[in-house]
Every structure is written in structure tokens, then in C-alpha cells.
Amino acid sequence: MTRISFRAALAISLGIAVLPVAGHGVSVPAAMAQSAADNAPAAPVQILYKALDTVQKAHSSFDARSQIVAPAIDQSYDLEAVLKASVGLRYNALNADEKQKLLAAFRNYTVARYVSSFKPGSDVQFSITPTIADAPAGGGKIVVTHVGGDDGSTPTELSYIVHQENGSWRITDVLLSDAHISQAAAQRADFSSTLASGGVAGLIAVLERKVQNYSSN
């Protein structure tokens, strides 16, 4: 497989269903080259997109591409905040060991999901809108981007909610803006039933199986 629809990639990376539409592609603008100092809230998104652009051109193994994406995930995401939002109130009842093990599994799952979504030859292109908006709550910012390809599809608007902690901006949620769908909310719907039936061990097992599935595709 040499190319995928960018909307299919979004569906995988967000864990939601996305309907295809006709249109045109979008090219990477100069905004991608902005430094963190020029646009600090956008810095984590720039880090993530740079890694995804690199793995699309890296005709190497899944593990090798994971080694490219993993550091970018660690730098760009506040994975613990995303996991907490994805689990919901049940997260506060977990003990420290459960949280640590679940976070490790969630990190592996997040990395594998991105690596699987943006395969070599995908030719998905990324652009970041220069204007940074205030998030409606929590003191965060909204970084609006467009993700598309050269497959005749209309670019999809994808927004990142970022928060600053200890002087660094991190992604805490992703929104598919045309549908107002939150990645954390979509994951919470999936995680809650698994936690209710199998507890933390059950959710970890599900995440590990998904990693295996992603790595074999």
C-alpha cells in the first residue's frame, strides 16, 4: 500500500468515522517552518507534523518509524492529561501503579496509531493556521490546522487544544472541527465500557492488541 486517503488517516488517528468528500489538496505552507519562539502554542503541533511528514517518506519497518514518532509524541502531547480525559472520573480512583501501567500502554497505542495512519507514500500534507485562538475553557489555546493530500480530497480542518505547563505547551485534545468531535470524548466512550467489564487490566490488554494490529497492517 503506497497511499491512503488523508481522511482515512484522520479516522484512524482520531478513532472516529469520517465521511469522504470531493475537493482539492493542500500544500505545506511556510508556517510549518515557524520556530517555537515565533508561535509558541503551535510548537507541539509543529513537532508532531514534522515527525508524521518524516515517517511518510521513511520506507522502513514499523518499529523504525515508531522510533521517529515516539519522541514527537512525548514532546507534543500531555499524554497523562489526554488519558485522564479519555478515562473520565474513574481515573481518580486508580492507584499509582495502575495509572503508570495504563499510561505506558496508552503511549504505545498512541504511537502505533499514528505510525499506522501515516504510512510511507501516504503523501498527506499539513498546514498550520497562523492565528491562535483562546480555548473556551481552561486557559488553553486552539491551534487550527488543515490536513490533506494530493488525492483530490478537500482538506480537513483539525484543531488542537494546547495548554501550557512549566513553560511548555502540550496538546491535550484534538478536535475534528467540521464535526466538533473530541478525540478524548470518542476514546472515553470506548474506554468506559472496557473498564467497566475488565478493569485496568482489561483496558491495557485491549490497547496492547490494538498495537499489535496496527503493527501488522
pLDDT tens for 106-130 read 999 999 999 999 999 888 999 999 9
- The CATH number of the domain where 161 resides is what? 3.10.450.710
- Is 133 within a domain? yes
Average pLDDT taken over every residue of the chain: 82
Residue span of the structural domain in which 90 resides: 6-216
Query: Which stretches of the chain are DSSP H helices?
Result: 6-14, 43-57, 62-76, 79-87, 96-117, 183-216
Amino acid at 189: A
Q: What is the DSSP letter of 150?
A: S
- Is 1 within a domain? no
- Is 163 within a domain? yes
| Residue 194 clears pLDDT 70, i.e. is over it | yes
Helices and strands, counts by H and E, the chain: 6, 5
| Residue 48 clears pLDDT 80, i.e. is over it | yes
- Name the 3-class secondary structure at 137: coil
C-alpha pair distances (Å), 186 with each of 32, 66, 76, 162: 28, 24, 20, 18
Report the pLDDT value the prediction gives residue 152, as an integer from 0 to 100.
66
Report the pLDDT value the prediction gives residue 4, as an integer from 0 to 100.
37
- Is 86 within a domain? yes
Amino acid at 48: L
pLDDT tens digits, 11-23: 445 554 332 322 3
Whats the size of the chain, residue-wise? Answer: 217
Separation CA 44–CA 66 (nearest Å): 18
| Residue 156 clears pLDDT 80, i.e. is over it | yes
Separation CA 86–CA 84 (nearest Å): 5
pLDDT tens digits, 60-88: 999 999 999 999 999 999 999 999 999 99
Domain total of the chain? 1
**pLDDT interval class at 9 (50, 70, 90):** very low
- Name the 3-class secondary structure at 148: strand
Report the pLDDT value the prediction gives residue 3, as an integer from 0 to 100.
38
- Is 59 within a domain? yes
Separation CA 138–CA 115 (nearest Å): 30
Do residues 45 and 162 make contact, with C-beta atoms less than 8 angstroms apart? yes
Separation CA 112–CA 3 (nearest Å): 18
pLDDT tens digits, 21-35: 223 233 333 343 344
Separation CA 140–CA 161 (nearest Å): 7
Q: How many CB atoms lie within 10 A of CB 113?
A: 20
Report the pLDDT value the prediction gives residue 179, as an integer from 0 to 100.
57
Separation CA 175–CA 146 (nearest Å): 12
Do residues 156 and 148 make contact, with C-beta atoms less than 8 angstroms apart? yes
Highest mean pLDDT among 19-33, 87-101, 170-184: 87-101
Mean pLDDT of 140-169: 87
- Is 204 within a domain? yes
Mean pLDDT of 181-194: 90
Mean pLDDT of 170-176: 94
Amino acid at 115: V
- Is 155 within a domain? yes
- Name the 3-class secondary structure at 139: coil
| Residue 93 clears pLDDT 90, i.e. is over it | yes
Separation CA 43–CA 61 (nearest Å): 28
- Is 22 within a domain? yes
